[in-house]
A and B are shown apart, each in its own frame.
Chain A
Amino acid sequence: MFGQANVLAAGQAGFPPTVDDFYLPSILPWGQDSIWFTKITAMVWIAVGVLIIFFLATYRNPQLVPTKKQWFAESIYGFVRNNIAVDMIGHQGVRFAPYFTTLFCFVLLTNAFAIIPFFQISPNSHIAFPAILAIISYVLFNYIGIKKHGFVKYFKNSLIPPAPWYILPLLIPIELFSTFIVRPFSLAVRLFANMFAGHMLLLVFTLGGFAMLSANAWLAPVSVLSWVMTIALTFLEFLVICLQAYVFTVLTASYVQGALADEH
C-alpha cells in the first residue's frame, strides 16, 4: 500500500500498477468524478469515427476494377466474409458477413489502441465494451436459432445431444450451462482479460524500469532490460490484439453456425 500512497503523494504512476491505473480521469467535465467522457470512451468514439470515415471514403465511388484503397477495404471485408463467415457457416453465412466485419474491425481497432502511441490502452480492457459485444453475439445466435427452428425445436437441438437416454440427465445440464450461460461470459471475459493483462504487463515492465532506476542507480542496466522487454511484449501484444479480434469473430460465427445447424 506504500506504492499507492507514493503515487498519490508524488502525483505519478507508482509501482506496482493497480487496477486504478485502468480508470482514467474524466476529460469533460475535467477532473470531476464523471465517466461519460474519459480517454476510454473518447477512444471508442474515435474508433467508430475512424472506421466510418475509412469505409465511407474508400467506398464512396466503388469501381469494378478497384483502386488501391478500395482494394484494401474490400480485402478486409473479403477476409471476414470468405475466411470466417463462409468457412464457418457455409453459403448462407454471407448474410452475416456485414455484422461480422463490423465486429471484427471494431474489436481489432479498439484492441490496437493498446499499442498505438498516445492511446496505449485498449477500451476492451474495460469489461463494459466486450460485454456489449458478447451480449449482441448471444442475442444474435439465439435469435437466429429460434427463427430458423422455432423455439421448442431450437432448444431441443441445442440441449439434447445424440446420446443414450441414460446419459442425458448428465449431458443436458452441461449443455444448458455451456451453451446458454457460459458463452456470453467466456466471450466477454476472454477479450477483456487478454487486453487487461496485456496492458498490465506493459505497465509492469515500463514502470518497473523506472522503479528500479529510482531505487538504485546500479540497477539501471536491469531497467534497460525491463524496457527492452516492454518492446518485446508490445510485439506479443500485437499478436494478441489480432488473435483476439479474430477469435471473437470466429466464435460468434461458430455460435451462429451451431444455432443454424439442423442436428446437434
Chain B
Amino acid sequence: MYFLAAEGGESAHNPIIPLWQEVVVGSVAFAVLCFVLMKFVFPRMEQTFQARVDAIEGGIKRAEAAQAEANQLLEQYRAQLAEARTDAAKIRDDARADAEGIRQDILAKAREESDRVIQAGKDALAAERATIVRELRAEVGTIAVDLASKIVGESLADEARRKGTVDRFLSGLESTGAR
C-alpha cells in the first residue's frame, strides 16, 4: 500500500521503470567489461587449458613412444644376444676342431721329424760303422801280416797280396763274434 502511495503521490520513483541514464551507464560499463574479459582474459585461459591438455597428453604419448622404443630395443638386444651366443658356440666348436686338427698335424709332423732324425742317426751310425770296419780291417790285416812276418822272420808282405786269406779270416772272426 505504501508502494502505491509512493507511486501516486510523494515518490517520483517507480522501481520497475528503468532510469535511462542508468541503462546508458550500465550498457557502457558492461560492454567495457565484456570487451576486456572476452578479448584478453578468457581466450588466454582457453589456450592455457589447451596447452595443459597437450602437455599431459603429449607427455603420455611421449612416454608410450619411449616405452615402445625401449621394448623394441630390448627385443633387438635379445635377438642380438641370442645370435651372438650361437656365433660364440659355433666359433668355439670351430676352434676346438681347428685345435684338434692342428694338434694332429703337429703330432704327425713331430713323429715324421723324429722318424727322420732317428733314421738319419741310424744311417750315420751305419756309415760310421762301415768306415771303422773298413779301416780296422785294413789295419788289422797289416798288423797281422807284420806280426806274422816278425814271427816267421821273413817278409810276408808279398804274400800280403794274397790278402784274400786275411779277409777270409776276418770274415770268419766276424761271423763268430757276431754270433
A residues with a Cβ closer than 8 A to B are 1, 4, 16, 18-20, 22-23, 34-36, 40-41, 44-45, 47-48, 51-52, 55-56, 59, 62, 64, 66, 73-74, 77-78, 94, 97-99, 101-102, 105-106, 123, 126-129, 131-133, 136, 189, 192, 196
Contact = CB atoms under 8 A, between A and B. Distances in A.
Interface string B1-44: 01101110011011111111111011101101110111011111
B28 to A, nearest CB: 9
Contacts of B43: 98
A20 B109 CA distance: 134
Given A36-B21, A94-B46, A132 B26 contact: yes
A22 B42 contact: no
Interface in B116-175: none
A78 B50 CA distance: 12
B134 to A, nearest CB: 116
Contacts of B34: 99, 102
B48 interface: yes
Nearest 9 Cβ contacts at the A-B interface:
A128-B22, A98-B42, A128-B18, A98-B38, A55-B41, A48-B33, A41-B25, A129-B26, A48-B29
Contact of A62 (B6, B32, B48): B48
Contact of B19 (A19, A35, A56): A35
Given A1-B10, A62-B45, A127-B16, A106 B33 contact: yes
Given A52-B36, A64-B51, A23 B13 contact: yes
In terms of DSSP, what is the predominant structure of the interface of chain A?
Answer: helix
B19 A126 contact: yes
B23 A52 contact: no
B65 interface: no
Contacts of A127: 15-18
Contacts, number: 125
B55 interface: yes
B6 A133 contact: no
Contacts of A98: 37-38, 42-43, 46
Contact of B22 (A4, A40, A64, A105): A40
B26 A64 contact: no
B52 interface: yes
Given A1-B10, A19-B13, A102 B48 contact: no
A133 B2 contact: no
B18 to A, nearest CB: 4
Given A62-B44, A97-B46, A132-B26, 20 more contacts: A16-B2, A20-B10, A40-B22, A41-B21, A41-B22, A41-B26, A48-B29, A51-B33, A55-B37, A56-B36, A62-B48, A64-B55, A78-B49, A98-B37, A98-B43, A99-B38, A106-B30, A189-B16, A192-B15, A196-B15
